[in-house]
Amino acid sequence: MRAEVEIFLNEKKHALASRLAEPRWLLKLAYPTDIFTVLNMRTISMQGTEKTHLFVSEKLKAFKAKLRPWKGKIERGKTASLPRLNLFLEDEDVTLVDEQSVIVKYLEKLSEEFDRYIPDEELHEKYKWGADPLMSTLKTSQKRSLPSQICKRSSSRCNMMKQSLAVFWTTVKEKPVLGSEAVKVLLPFVTTYLCGSGFAYLAAIKTKSRNWLQPEHALRVALSTTEPRMEKLTSEILAQGPHENQFIS
């Protein structure tokens, strides 16, 4: 969008239009663009249904793990990990040396902020068995109560991987230890996606022509993932026949 934004700012005679012709300024713009592109893609991948704490933790840990290699490559003068920055350096008469120290400090600060907002997940380590119920290595405190029940429920890793974690753990809900422990990590909302989608459905339901005070039933139907069995429902409803004595002579 760089060319389009430059044309727009020039048409509006904006003071920032000249910035888009300055290679040093554009160099400072290129590497944050790469980083925020990865962040946006990561954020989108964490939206949706059945996104549990374990899933989101893995995504965030994977991004945090990328920051250190990126920093090391920039220190060695390699920019392949940041494609827009790499392409800009090839096309423009600037070098990485001009902003190398700034980019390294930026990545260091970003890593520190991620560690501050999203510290190392002790909870994820504690409930790692929830993401991989058939794992063989469990902490000593868990070995006393959980593994034997897990192993009894399934002997095939492939069968477990064919279904979601929620479905898998639903099949062992009769086990009080497993059920209560799995719910602690699978039930909480980890993003605002489900809340946002609920409000979106509610806004679609409560229009001017359908503005009733208690939309609970309609909202429950809208949010449900269960497909209605229309043939069964219609078979239970009899068509209204002609009324007897409709015409009285």
Q: What is the pLDDT of residues 51-98, one digit of tens each?
A: 887 788 888 888 888 898 999 999 999 999 899 999 988 888 888 887
- Arithmetic mean of pLDDT, 14-18: 88
Q: Cβ(52)–Cβ(190) under 8 Å?
A: yes
If asked whether residues 198 and 111 sit together in one domain, one would say no
Residue 208 lies in a domain: yes
Helix (H, G, I), strand (E, B) or coil at 35: helix
If asked whether residues 6 and 100 sit together in one domain, one would say yes
If asked whether residues 100 and 21 sit together in one domain, one would say yes
Query: What whole-number distance in Å separates Cα of residue 70 and Cα of residue 236?
Result: 63
pLDDT computed for residue 152 by the predictor:
47
- Using the structure block, give the residue that is written with the tokens 């380590």: 125
If asked whether residues 10 and 84 sit together in one domain, one would say yes
Q: How far is CA 138 from CA 132, 192, 229, in A?
A: 11, 31, 43
Contacts of 124 (CB under 8 A, 6+ apart): 53, 54, 57, 58, 61
Question: Nearest Cα to 56, choosing from 129, 139, 118, 142?
Answer: 118
If asked whether residues 19 and 84 sit together in one domain, one would say yes
Residue 142 is part of which domain span? 136-186
If asked whether residues 27 and 119 sit together in one domain, one would say yes
- Provide the number of structural domains found in the chain: 3
Query: What whole-number distance in Å separates Cα of residue 110 and Cα of residue 198?
Result: 33
If asked whether residues 51 and 115 sit together in one domain, one would say yes
When the pLDDT of each residue in the chain is averaged and rounded to a whole number, the result is 76
| CA dihedral sign, ordered 18, 24, 28, 33 | positive
**pLDDT tier for residue 21 given thresholds of 50, 70 and 90:** confident
Query: What whole-number distance in Å separates Cα of residue 157 and Cα of residue 133?
Result: 9
Evaluate if residue 34 carries a pLDDT over 90.
yes
Query: What whole-number distance in Å separates Cα of residue 221 and Cα of residue 90?
Result: 55
